Structure 1
């Protein structure tokens, strides 16, 4: 039976996230010091998102909590999630995050991965029955939207790596925000950029996968980005061209789960995330295909193999534990 998200699994993931979203250390700041006065603690720099080892992981851990609360509003962890949001997602603390983004040295801070997750969080909060948290985060979301509007016209080329700089992943998450917010102009910009960057791609070899610190499949996340942004009648032909041998199980490298040799190494531990993010993409892409399409069962089976490789390692070592549950949740829900 295919793994699925249950209240018990969701509660476990939420407990993991609640255990680290306010854990300030260890911490890896993506911080530029313009002078000695900028040597400040993570909590002083980021009143909301100073836990979970780094800023972006803290943001998407909050998304996980919001998603679990939305799906299971009476769940085991619901009260703890609400209490945490009431403590952290306040206008005063978000103003501190906005002030950080206003510094000249922060122009490229968390671009594009953290930007995308911040918008994904904003979208999730907007769907909760309690609007105060979304209202508090709205000023920071507005700043990030403007950053994207300013940046995309300047970005002549996509970034295809399997790590935080991947542009297809950022477009994919930002599309959820644009749709949820009814921001047609932002969605049009995302689609325009996706078509320019990826529209002519074909016969993807996936020869560089996996890299030693990948947590995204550059091939599959590009396909998932285009699935999310293109109309179905246009995605189908594009997907056929992009991975023309998929029905034969090629490129074979996409179907073999990554092997993780040292989960205490933060970079190597990324590969557990690769297995989970591949499962997410495989499931989402399979769902977009007609039931009779021979690629559909192949993608579903690949998702299950990758989930089996990744799910047992969501917790255990902090190098993975501070972020992997987010990608497990994406995969189980896809």
Structure 2
């Protein structure tokens, strides 16, 4: 049986995110100091995205809340989300976030992971038909346009992909950014596809040396998910067959086996719950893009469900995972539906 997003599961995810998007501490600041005056608190540095332990987790936790508010309108959680967001998403707060990125020391800040999540957030808000949603989309759009411009300046300089299983993974960033770019920025969409093809069109026989202890993304499956999103529908199965030519017989087995998590209170080890959720997301999306008679389709669906089930119970329970895992759980249970 395939796990679905029920109202009960949605309420659990939303309640979790509402509990930390304005929680300022503990906080992991990735901040370059230009002088003693730059030593400031999270909320002083970021007037909007100061919660959820770090900037990018706060951004994508808001994406989670906005997505759930659209899918389950009229719920208590949706009402709370819109009320809190309307209070916090102001022109002044957005201007403050842009000002942070404009600092000379912030050229690399959140590249590419946080950039792509902010664009995903803007893409989600553009789907909202409520007055609150339209207002919030107008609020966040200047920051989205600012970071889209940064992406367009960066991608022509990026000769090589980054194939790690953490925040610097370029396949993940491009895959997420395409959701925004395809709807709102044709030049950015073109730049993303040009980079995807330049980096990965010739990828063959992936060896999948994973998982690593720090992974929350699968380096192998993120490339496959990017190419599913970037290629024409008719071209993806052929590319996939060359990329993972033995997956129909269960090889490499590591991509089909959920990772073991030895200590969920350890923020890095807890990444592996995210790996299981993001693999579930990728496998579901990939399976849906393969022909019904493809030998890997059933294997991919089975792997997706096993990965999802291994992690879903652990989305909440410890703040080191709780401040971000509900986003990846939502990606997994919603794969292929938007």
TM-score, structure 1 normalization: 0.98
SS where residue 74 of structure 2 aligns? coil
Q: What residue is the counterpart of 1:53 in the other structure? A: 53
Deviations 1:95-138 (A, max 9, x none): 11011011001100000000000000000011112311011111
Deviations 1:30-54 (A, max 9, x none): 1001001101110011011000000
Give the 4+ runs in structure 1 shifted more than 4 A.
none
Q: What residue is the counterpart of 2:235 in the other structure? A: 234
Say which of 139, 143, 154 aligns to 2:142: 139
RMSD of aligned residue pairs (Cα, Å)? 0.7
Q: What residue is the counterpart of 2:163 in the other structure? A: 160
Q: What residue is the counterpart of 1:205 in the other structure? A: 207
CA distance in 1, matches of 2:182, 2:6: 27
Structure 1 position 27, deviation (Å): 0.4
Deviations 1:253-300 (A, max 9, x none): 101100000111100000000000000000000000111222111110
CA distance in 1, matches of 2:299, 2:311: 19
CA distance in 2, matches of 1:26, 1:163: 21
Q: What residue is the counterpart of 2:302 in the other structure? A: 301
CA distance in 2, matches of 1:9, 1:75: 13
CA distance in 2, matches of 1:184, 1:85: 28
Structure 1 position 76, deviation (Å): 3.0
CA distance in 2, matches of 1:155, 1:293: 34
SS where residue 314 of structure 1 aligns? coil
Structure 1 position 73, deviation (Å): 1.0
SS where residue 234 of structure 2 aligns? helix
Structure 2, unaligned stretches of length 5 or more? Answer: none
Say which of 179, 192, 195 aligns to 2:194: 192
Structure 1, unaligned stretches of length 5 or more? Answer: none
CA distance in 1, matches of 2:107, 2:186: 25
CA distance in 2, matches of 1:271, 1:76: 32
Structure 1 position 75, deviation (Å): 2.1
Q: What residue is the counterpart of 1:175 in the other structure? A: 178
SS where residue 257 of structure 1 aligns? coil
CA distance in 2, matches of 1:62, 1:90: 15
Q: What residue is the counterpart of 1:25 in the other structure? A: 25
Q: Does 1:4 align with 2:7?
A: no
Deviations 1:199-251 (A, max 9, x none): 11000010x20000100000001000000011012212111100000100111
Structure 1 position 309, deviation (Å): 0.6
Q: What residue is the counterpart of 2:314 in the other structure? A: 313
CA distance in 2, matches of 1:64, 1:78: 11
CA distance in 2, matches of 1:88, 1:229: 34
SS where residue 21 of structure 1 aligns? coil
Whether the 8 Å CA contact 1:59–1:121 is kept in 2: the answer is yes
Structure 1 position 91, deviation (Å): 1.0
CA distance in 2, matches of 1:132, 1:30: 30
The correspondence of residues 262-281 of structure 1 with structure 2, limited to 5 A, is 262-281=263-282
CA distance in 1, matches of 2:250, 2:84: 45
CA distance in 2, matches of 1:185, 1:96: 26
SS where residue 313 of structure 1 aligns? coil
TM-score, structure 2 normalization: 0.97
CA distance in 1, matches of 2:231, 2:51: 36
Count of residues in correspondence between the two structures:
332
